[in-house]
């Protein structure tokens, strides 16, 4: 038998075992049933794995939760723009790996007490190896960002993986816990809590845009075109894009907004950010030189007026459920499809925040007041201040040329 045939037979047995373990549990599954499902003799199974627990050992060791983790994290450490985004990408990827086999996770965790010592040790080794890779990853990104941690990277990695596994187990074993709107909501809370506890860094927690080296705001005609497209797409999309350009809020902050988080009258329209440090943000009725209604009659108020549901969330998705970060990004991509920035790139959703911040500074708001509204520190705002001064200098030069 060739090596490829041996590999194929082995994988067929593993796949059959995963399916049966997930369907009826490890304890209730016999090697005879696995062999029958894999279309091999039971002797063949024993030759490859020794016994049922040897088969489980292979499944744990080769789980997609752990496979190629080292290479994946190396890429994350070098490609991600910030420690926050790197952490979120890792957490999201690990949860997706667990979600591919929810029944198997339930079975493996729920019946772990019945396993022989070698199986429990294998599970422990796999987790330890994952913690090692994550610790190396954290050490690299935290050194790059010059962050001071209260705990060693190994302990931080262990805590992070335990919280991810705990969330997955809770999701797979309970219904309607209603602790988070969705996975994105959990991930935002997890990363924020982790960064706050690990580094005591407020700036990392309050903003998705950390350590911005270059501010790339959008020109007025592009912003107006995006808003026009959003208006044609529907009131929800129009309200979403209006919030992005009118408040400078991040996608995560938008998902946490509820209807009662707004203050609206003829003199003002504010949104209250209640996660993290409490603050209020005005919704600008003037965006890049064009007015989009009034404080009481604008894309957001019109969207809320037509809603007949009882959801507390400020924005809902296409299924009338609270909108997620991923869905916001998907709606943005659909609206800006085919558009191009002066740099020749498709507009990125982060550029809405850049554009708002630069515009506010150009209008004359002080850095101190901007810091209060955004929750960012003064150092974070420096690139935006520099870009605002650049644009003001250009405007002045153009005016001088006309005289």
pLDDT in tens, the chain (403 residues): 444 555 588 888 888 887 887 677 777 788 899 899 999 998 998 888 888 777 877 776 665 555 555 566 666 666 655 677 777 787 887 777 777 666 666 666 655 556 666 666 666 776 777 777 777 777 776 666 666 666 677 777 788 878 887 777 777 666 555 566 677 778 877 887 777 655 544 444 444 444 455 788 999 999 999 999 999 999 999 999 999 999 999 888 898 899 999 999 999 999 999 876 789 999 999 999 999 999 999 999 999 999 999 899 999 999 898 888 888 988 999 999 999 998 888 999 989 999 999 999 999 999 999 999 998 888 889 999 999 999 999 989 988 887 6
Burial class (CB in 10 A: 0-12, 13-18, 19+), 221: exposed
How wide is the angle at C-alpha 276 spanned by C-alphas 270 and 281, nearest 5°? Answer: 15
Cα maximum dimension of the chain: 93
How wide is the angle at C-alpha 401 spanned by C-alphas 399 and 403, nearest 5°? Answer: 75
pTM of the predicted protein model: 0.55
CATH of domain 3-61: 1.10.10.60
How far apart (Å, rounded) are the C-alpha atoms in residues 322 and 313?
6
Q: Where are the domains of the chain?
A: 3-61, 82-113+131-200, 220-402
Angle of helix 378-402 versus helix 367-374 axis, rounded to 10: 130
How far apart (Å, rounded) are the C-alpha atoms in residues 237 and 331?
7
Q: Please say whether the beta carbons of 384 and 354 come within 8 A.
A: yes
Q: Distance between alpha carbon 121 and the CA centroid of its chain, in Å?
A: 32
Fold of domain 220-402: hpI Integrase; Chain A (1.10.443)
């Amino acid at each position: 038998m060739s090596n490829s045939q041996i590999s194929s037979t082995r994988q067929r047995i593993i796949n059959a075992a995963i399916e049966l373990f997930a369907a009826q549990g490890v304890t209730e599954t016999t090697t005879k049933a696995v062999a029958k499902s894999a279309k091999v003799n039971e002797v063949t199974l024993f030759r490859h794995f020794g016994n049922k627990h040897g088969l489980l050992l292979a499944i744990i060791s080769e789980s997609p939760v752990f496979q190629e983790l080292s290479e994946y994290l190396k890429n994350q450490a070098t490609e991600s723009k910030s420690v926050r985004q790197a952490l979120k990408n890792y957490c999201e990827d690990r949860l997706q790996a667990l979600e591919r086999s929810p029944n198997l996770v339930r079975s493996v965790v729920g019946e772990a007490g019945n396993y022989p010592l070698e199986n429990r040790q294998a599970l422990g080794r796999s987790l330890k190896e994952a913690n090692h890779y994550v610790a190396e990853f954290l050490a690299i990104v935290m050194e790059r960002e010059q962050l001071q941690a209260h705990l060693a990277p190994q302990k931080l990695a262990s805590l992070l993986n335990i919280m991810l596994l705990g969330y997955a187990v809770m999701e797979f074993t309970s219904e309607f816990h209603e602790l988070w709107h969705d996975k994105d909501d959990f991930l935002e809370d997890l990363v924020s809590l982790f960064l706050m506890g690990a580094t005591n860094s407020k700036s990392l927690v309050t903003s998705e845009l950390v350590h911005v080296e270059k501010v790339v705001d959008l020109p007025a005609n592009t912003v107006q075109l995006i808003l026009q497209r959003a208006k044609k797409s529907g009131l929800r999309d129009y309200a979403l894009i209006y919030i992005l350009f009118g408040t400078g809020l991040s996608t995560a902050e938008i998902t946490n907004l509820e209807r009662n988080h707004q203050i609206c009258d003829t003199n003002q329209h504010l949104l209250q950010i209640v996660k993290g440090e409490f603050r209020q943000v005005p919704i600008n009725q003037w965006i890049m030189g064009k007015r989009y209604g009034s404080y009481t009659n604008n894309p957001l108020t019109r969207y809320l007026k037509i809603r007949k549901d009882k959801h507390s969330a400020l924005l809902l998705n296409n299924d009338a459920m609270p909108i997620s970060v991923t869905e916001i990004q998907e709606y943005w991509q659909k609206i800006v499809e085919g558009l191009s920035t002066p740099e020749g790139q498709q507009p990125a959703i982060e550029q809405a925040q850049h554009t708002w911040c630069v515009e506010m500074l150009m209008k004359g708001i002080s850095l101190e007041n901007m810091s209060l509204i955004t929750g960012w520190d003064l150092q974070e705002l420096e690139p935006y201040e520099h870009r605002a001064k650049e644009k003001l200098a250009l405007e002045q030069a153009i005016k001088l040329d006309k005289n």
